[in-house]
Amino acid sequence: MKRLYLVALLGIGVLALAGCRRGGVGGNPEVVEKVATNQGADLKLTWKSVEGADGYRVYCDGKRIWEGKDTTYTIQGSSHVCKTVEVSAFSGKDEEKTRLDLTPISKTITGLVSHDGPGSSWVKLDFTTGDVSSTTQGNVNKDAPNTGWFVFYNNAGTPQFRDASATSVGRATMEVAFTASSSGNLAPGKNNYNTVMSTSANAYHFFWADNTSTGYNDMDNNDYFGVIKVTSLTGTGPYTANLEIYIQNKVKGLRWVVTE
């Protein structure tokens, strides 16, 4: 009698487990591609199909922006610029998510002195390691791989940022060009940048780091985008500045730079 009772219980358990499996998804989606498109304005996502899924959803900073059965979706930067993206597989009320962190790296530069004063006036941007640091002109190596350099310059009483190509140093492996003071989270398109740009206290500059050996002068997936916030600028020449620098290094060529 006991044996029959145990067999019955086991049977009920197996059926219950089978029912749970039939009602759920087989795991979270594996994102196999995240690539900048449309000259860096958009982000294309591709993921593997998930067993048992009725469909898929894409979230931008926690807000659902798409639902469907395809295993690819392009987020248009004109509508959404995200710090985090989630791709989920769902079946009924069951949902499994994969999270992608697109938060830019951020570094602080303090006590940057214009080129006509004593101290460090150059900024190094190493896009491979994420090293952002101030230095002197004697330490600038324009041949360093995947690295851009710019100088804080005093142009007869006008503070400026100048890429290495606009100085006696010459063009580096990554050329850094700046927008005029701006705002927002989506870096603008190609015709909005200059390798020499005037700056001021509280300025907000997007920058484009253009690979000078591959795809030079084109916005493509060899490039990087970021923001320079001038948190303070003092003096009458020489000048001293503090900077907050953000780099979108999670997806090469992506123009999304969310700083808040």
- Give the pLDDT of residue 6: 37
Q: pLDDT tens digit string along 60-87? A: 999 999 999 999 999 999 999 999 999 9
pLDDT mean across residues, the chain? 92
Q: pLDDT tens digit string along 99-142? A: 999 999 999 999 999 999 999 999 999 999 999 999 999 999 99
Is the pLDDT at 8 greater than 50? The verdict is no
Is the pLDDT at 12 greater than 90? The verdict is no
Q: pLDDT tens digit string along 81-106? A: 999 999 999 999 999 999 999 999 99
Nearest CA to 74 among 62, 63, 60, 61?
Answer: 60
Residue type, 24: G
Please provide the DSSP assignment of 112-162 as one string: EE-TTSSS--EEEEETTT--EEEE-GGG--TTSTTEEEEEEEEETTEEEEE
Instruction: Read off the tokens for 189.
Output: 């398109």
In Å, how far from its chain's centre is CA 207?
Answer: 12
- Give the pLDDT of residue 24: 84
Nearest CA to 226 among 203, 202, 199, 246?
Answer: 246
Strand order in the sheet with 72-75: 31-37, 42-47, 72-75
- The CATH topology of domain 26-101 is Immunoglobulin-like (2.60.40)
d(CA 45, CA 58): 9
* Residue spans in the chain of domains classed CATH 2.60.40.10: 26-101
Exposure string of 40-59, with b = 16+ CB inside 10 Å and e = fewer, is bbbbebbbeebebbeebbbb
- pTM of the model as a whole: 0.90
Peptide bond into 118 cis (omega under 30): no
- What secondary structure letter does DSSP report for 202? T
The strand pairing partners of 211, in sequence order, are 174
- Give the pLDDT of residue 19: 41
Q: pLDDT tens digit string along 146-182? A: 999 999 999 999 999 999 999 999 999 999 999 999 9
d(CA 33, CA 21): 28
> Residues 225, 248: contact at Cβ < 8 Å?
yes
Considering only the C-alpha atoms of the chain, give the largest distance between any 2 of them, rounded to a whole number of Å: 100
Nearest CA to 111 among 255, 242, 247?
Answer: 242
Is the pLDDT at 22 greater than 80? The verdict is no
d(CA 148, CA 114): 18
